[in-house]
Structure 1
């Protein structure tokens, strides 16, 4: 069987440039696509390690990471909520009675099986699960944060973020912090390896043409 290179050497062809690959159109009307090598993939372990390094200097980083993983949310989101809710004060108690790092109302703490809402690990675990449930219910992080602050009933009543000054200040504050933390944990994609293929410009039968739309 003749190799592809032998076929190309013996037949007139047209090379169609299209992004990161080439299509070779031969006189036999067949098409041969020469793909660029794939970019190396970033593993989940590498992403987790990048997160640990980026977030490790923040308070309660290991507890927040564990609670976020168990609850199925990003640790950056839980960090942003905790910072806005309690400024990382595990003994914080609001005038309305919200408790601990994630400022759980006693009824919410009981709903997630937490008897001591001032204990950091339990508080974070319940806060992460509550956030996950709100995200699943509303299908949107901003609406979930609105419900975390103002209550799910208020979000349903107004069909979106309630017109409360506190909530309208809280949601952008948390989302901006969330996005900023995510940027610190992002890994730059590895460079794409050079293509093993090279076009010969001295061949009059080999030319670049525009790919039709």
Structure 2
């Protein structure tokens, strides 16, 4: 059965480029981004891993730990790191799971036979500090991920956990958000004294930075 939003992220123990990972313990009180790769020494994956490494200040700002996975072994991962440095200008600064036995791939349903019978697809799982899966995105092996979008989704999840709002189409941090439909106008006046624009009774836009 595939994992669904709100499910507890399956726990596991697996080797990585940073030693043995006990997943739930490793997450601790942080958010986590678990993302899978079809194979080592492949072009799209190499560009992605370099980008994740470059984004370390952004992950840190969001109290988020990235962790990668492919079905190749640890020795291949370690050799691949040198290629990633040549391509992107930076070494890995996050763990890359060595899932040669496919233990984690099977837990997270990352092998899609209609796409590839042996390699994992490009899935991303957003996992909160309570170890719940809050969002997921799956790409085919041929399409590289947009990590700006992954950061945007993470920002939305973290914002809507703190405020009684949702985020509209194409939202980026700093733009207006939607007051949650479950919030009455009376309660909204207390939560958002700066006021809002009411497009419809169910669509009220508010700028949080003016609170």
* Common fold: TM-score over 0.5: no
TM-score (norm 2): 0.23
Larger radius of gyration: 1
TM-score (norm 1): 0.23
Query: More helix by proportion, 1 or 2?
Result: 1
Query: More strand by proportion, 1 or 2?
Result: 2
